[in-house]
């Protein structure tokens, strides 16, 4: 990418040299024309200001022609050669700087500027990013204020309602380029968003207050319009911001916004394999510091591999009981995760917690209890959903094992439920605790942005597939796709996922429907038992954000993970309906995902984090389920916190919807460093809707 950019800059500089020479020639021609005009004026007027006679005009004209044709004549002001060279050097230096600026904007700012872009293109791109409308003729006005249009605008005949509809078509936060926003919006909504609502966010670096967008003001014509969220509400201010005069831009003020509880996820190894609390004194100090800044509570994983490690139905909760008492004494709340998967080998895992030993022993004699790919490789992260109803775990089915574990937890910590200390129980439904297939295991060779592989080749899932194929009347469909590529393949490299591939054929639709329905059935069954075990308490399920290849027709990476969500089908509505059936909340673990569009690897993978975020959120909100979230990436800076805040509390949502809670990933020594902790304290206050000082970045 950098090599291509260097070539682009080099090509620009060669073109610029030609333009410089043309500019210098044009200046000389202008001097020549100005000299001729000056001479002509002298010819037309005499020394005393009166018109000379015809014979006298002829004599003057002959003299002037001789002067113009003679080098060094007095009529034409000849520029010294050194001055021309200095002009060329200055112009070359200026254009080289401009080329570097434009290259940086393209590479790091995701600005789709043309090759010969100038300052006008940059200003137009910035105006679009600020939510303004830029017409093809360069006319610029706020998208939500008709009073700011110039009187001579050719489109002034548009009504207020039609202009608002036009402004809503402009895609939010993605209009950083100079291409037409209207075309991109139509294509975006038609192909990828399936008609869901996309609220227009107010960028934190442009609006001074969330309330300023709805405050009224009177325009020149006397009619009431909406005020533009600028520092001083004037066009001069936005011009100063664009050319970079103010060194800092204002943030959005979250004072008065809804209170969103903030939890902090505790370290993975806070309880060791013997179910003992590690470093209780140090943890107590950290919890007190968190309490001092009004953090609402903490989240803790209760690992199946620790509590029921040695023998079936022999549970050891000692370390967790000590931890819960500590949290209770500090008057903090608890979010608890029923972790039925192994820890280790995934991003962010710094400890190793396998599945229980007795489960591993069963797996050695019957490896089909684990997910299996086409090559027969087993994935021991979690149990296959094929044994949800198979009594292969010492006389119990998988869901019975999960239910016994959850019931034991409820009995052990019943007083914490009654006192309201445990505010939510998140139920692990797959690898990393997420409701998905383990389609992208690094240990089996997957590398981003690979599409992954289907995980349906253990004998129990194949038996389910055979049954479904026979019910359909096509027993030969009882097989997995044979042209779906490998873990790190790209969609266009396969016959199944490419455009107009087999995924959209009769067999492909049958297989994907069965594969995704098995995922929904697993979540439905486990959550029904969780609702029974934790009656009266809030339960939640976690969904991943698989955003790569979202801009392709097949959405291949989502398909292998179990989400039947190609461009012509909404694969998240059925999952949201299943969660709503059990009154479960949705934990969508990608709070800052939609702000990653600028990364080059996402562009190359045809990823669309923003589209995925809003599709999942709309599916959740349409079915009236609670949405909670956590950050997917480590965050210690104000820019990252601002992005999370904008997503948790979308400013322009017409129904005022927001996330119900947020969990910060995770408590580490780095977070407790002075500067990082001050930023985190400020973030917590803004999540709580409190006013904070020093809004400047």
Structure-block tokens of residue 276: 């003992």
> What is the greatest pairwise CA distance in the chain?
125
Q: Please classify residue 240 by burial: count the beta carbons closer than 10 Å to its beta carbon, then call 0-12 exposed, 13-18 middle and 19+ buried.
A: middle
Q: What is the pLDDT of residue 347?
A: 63
Of 498, 504, 465, the C-alpha closest to 484 is 498
| Overall domain count for the chain | 1
Phi, psi dihedrals of residue 568, rounded to the nearest 5°: -105, 20
Q: What is the pLDDT of residue 590?
A: 65
Residue at 620 is within a domain: yes
Q: At what angle do helices 573-581 and 609-622 cross, to 10 degrees?
A: 40
Task: Quote the CA–CA distance of 458 and 379 in Å, as a whole number.
Answer: 11
Residue at 207 is within a domain: no
Structure-block tokens of residue 545: 């954000």
Tens-place pLDDT, residues 629-673: 999 888 999 989 998 998 899 887 888 899 999 999 999 999 999
Specify the CATH number for the domain of residue 273.
3.20.20.80
Residue at 436 is within a domain: yes
> Which residue's structure tokens are 């999942």?
616
Residue at 164 is within a domain: no
- Other CB atoms within a 10 A radius of the CB of residue 313 amount to 11
Active-site position among 308, 453, 558, 630: 630
Q: What is the pLDDT of residue 596?
A: 54
Q: What is the pLDDT of residue 282?
A: 96
Active-site position among 129, 381, 390, 434: 434
Structure-block tokens of residue 62: 């002959």
Contact 324, 290 (CB under 8 A): no
Residue at 243 is within a domain: no
690 given a catalytic annotation: no
Q: At what angle do helices 459-472 and 506-533 cross, to 10 degrees?
A: 120
Task: Quote the CA–CA distance of 320 and 310 in Å, as a whole number.
Answer: 17
Q: 395: domain range?
A: 262-444+519-688
Q: Which residues of the chain have pLDDT under 70?
A: 1-79, 107, 109-110, 112, 114-116, 136, 143-250, 345-349, 590-600, 694-697
* DSSP codes of every residue in 221-289: TS-EEEPP-SSSSSHHHHHHHHTT-SS--PPPP-TTSPP--EEEEPPTTSB-TTS-BSSHHHHHHHHHH
Task: Quote the CA–CA distance of 316 and 274 in Å, as a whole number.
Answer: 8
Contact 463, 514 (CB under 8 A): no
List alpha helices for 455-505, DSSP H. 459-472
Residue 369 DSSP SS3: helix
Residue at 680 is within a domain: yes
Q: What is the pLDDT of residue 344?
A: 83
For the chain, counts of helices (H) and of strands (E): 21, 14
List alpha helices for 80-195, DSSP H. 81-109, 119-129, 160-168, 181-188
Threshold 0.75, pTM exceeds:
no
Residue at 350 is within a domain: yes
434 given a catalytic annotation: yes
Q: What is the pLDDT of residue 110?
A: 64
Task: Quote the CA–CA distance of 228 and 235 in Å, as a whole number.
Answer: 10
Residue at 634 is within a domain: yes
Q: What is the pLDDT of residue 693?
A: 77
Task: Quote the CA–CA distance of 339 and 356 in Å, as a whole number.
Answer: 12
Q: 298-310 burial, b for 16+ CB within 10 Å, e for fewer?
A: bbbbbbbbbbbbe
């Amino acid at each position: 990418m950098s090599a291509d950019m260097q070539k682009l800059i080099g090509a620009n500089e060669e073109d610029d040299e030609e333009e410089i020479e043309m500019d210098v020639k044009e200046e000389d021609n202008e001097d020549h024309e100005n000299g001729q005009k000056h001479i002509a004026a002298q010819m037309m007027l005499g020394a005393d200001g009166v018109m000379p006679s015809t014979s006298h005009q002829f004599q003057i004209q002959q003299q002037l022609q001789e002067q113009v044709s003679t080098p060094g004549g007095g009529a034409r002001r000849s520029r010294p050669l050194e001055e021309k060279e200095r002009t060329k050097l200055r112009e070359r230096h200026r254009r080289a700087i401009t080329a570097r600026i434009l290259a940086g904007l393209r590479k790091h700012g995701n600005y789709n500027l043309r090759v010969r872009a100038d300052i006008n293109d940059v200003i137009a791109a910035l105006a679009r990013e600020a939510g303004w409308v830029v017409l093809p003729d360069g006319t610029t006005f706020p998208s939500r204020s008709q009073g700011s249009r110039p009187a001579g605008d050719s489109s002034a005949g548009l009504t207020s309602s039609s202009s608002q509809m036009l402004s809503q078509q402009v895609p939010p936060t993605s209009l950083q380029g100079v291409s037409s926003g209207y075309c991109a919006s139509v294509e975006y909504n038609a192909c990828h968003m399936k008609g869901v609502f996309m609220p227009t966010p107010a960028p934190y670096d442009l609006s001074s207050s969330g309330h300023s967008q709805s405050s009224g003001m009177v325009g020149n014509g006397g009619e009431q319009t909406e005020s533009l969220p600028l520092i001083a509400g004037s066009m001069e201010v936005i011009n100063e911001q664009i050319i970079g005069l103010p060194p800092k831009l204002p943030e959005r003020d979250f004072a008065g916004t809804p209170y969103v509880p903030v939890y902090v996820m505790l370290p993975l190894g806070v309880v060791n394999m013997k179910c003992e609390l590690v470093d209780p004194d140090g943890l107590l100090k950290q919890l007190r510091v968190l309490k001092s800044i009004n953090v609402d509570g903490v989240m803790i994983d209760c690992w199946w591999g620790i509590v029921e490690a040695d023998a079936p139905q022999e549970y050891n909760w000692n370390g967790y009981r000590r931890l819960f008492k500590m949290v209770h004494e500090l008057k903090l709340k608890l979010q608890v995760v029923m972790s039925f998967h192994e820890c280790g080998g995934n991003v962010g895992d710094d400890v190793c917690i396998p599945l229980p030993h007795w489960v591993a022993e069963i797996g050695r004699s019957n490896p089909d209890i684990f997910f299996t790919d086409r090559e027969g490789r087993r994935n021991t992260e979690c149990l296959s959903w094929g044994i949800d109803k198979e009594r292969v775990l010492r006389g119990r089915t998988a869901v019975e094992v999960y239910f016994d574990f959850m019931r034991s937890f409820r009995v052990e910590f019943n007083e914490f439920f009654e006192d309201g200390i445990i505010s939510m129980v998140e139920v692990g439904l797959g690898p990393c605790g997420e409701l998905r297939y383990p389609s992208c295991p690094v240990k089996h060779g997957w590398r981003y942005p690979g599409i992954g592989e289907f995980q349906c080749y253990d004998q129990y899932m194949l038996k389910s597939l055979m049954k479904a194929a026979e019910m359909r009347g096509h027993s030969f469909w009882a097989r997995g796709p044979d042209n779906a590529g490998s873990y790190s393949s790209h969609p266009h490299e396969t016959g199944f996922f490419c455009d107009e591939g087999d995924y959209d054929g009769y067999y492909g639709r049958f297989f994907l429907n069965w594969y995704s329905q098995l995922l929904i059935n697993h979540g439905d069954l486990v959550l029904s038992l969780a609702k029974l075990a934790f009656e009266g308490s809030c339960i939640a399920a976690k969904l991943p954000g698989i955003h790569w290849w979202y801009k392709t027709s097949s959405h291949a990476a989502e398909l292998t993970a179990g989400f039947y969500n190609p461009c012509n089908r909404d694969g998240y509505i059925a999952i949201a309906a299943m969660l709503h059936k059990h009154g479960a909340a949705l934990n969508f673990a990608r709070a800052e995902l939609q702000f990653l569009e600028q990364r080059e690897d996402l562009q190359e993978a045809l990823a669309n984090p923003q589209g995925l975020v809003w599709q999942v959120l709309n599916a959740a909100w349409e079915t009236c389920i609670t949405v909670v979230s956590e950050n997917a990436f480590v965050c210690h800076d104000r820019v990252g916190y601002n992005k999370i805040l904008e997503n948790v509390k979308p400013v322009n949502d017409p129904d005022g919807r927001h996330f119900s809670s947020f969990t910060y990933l995770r408590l580490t020594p780095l977070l407790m460093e002075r500067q990082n902790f001050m930023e985190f304290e400020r973030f917590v206050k803004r999540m709580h809707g409190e006013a904070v000082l020093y809004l400047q970045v």
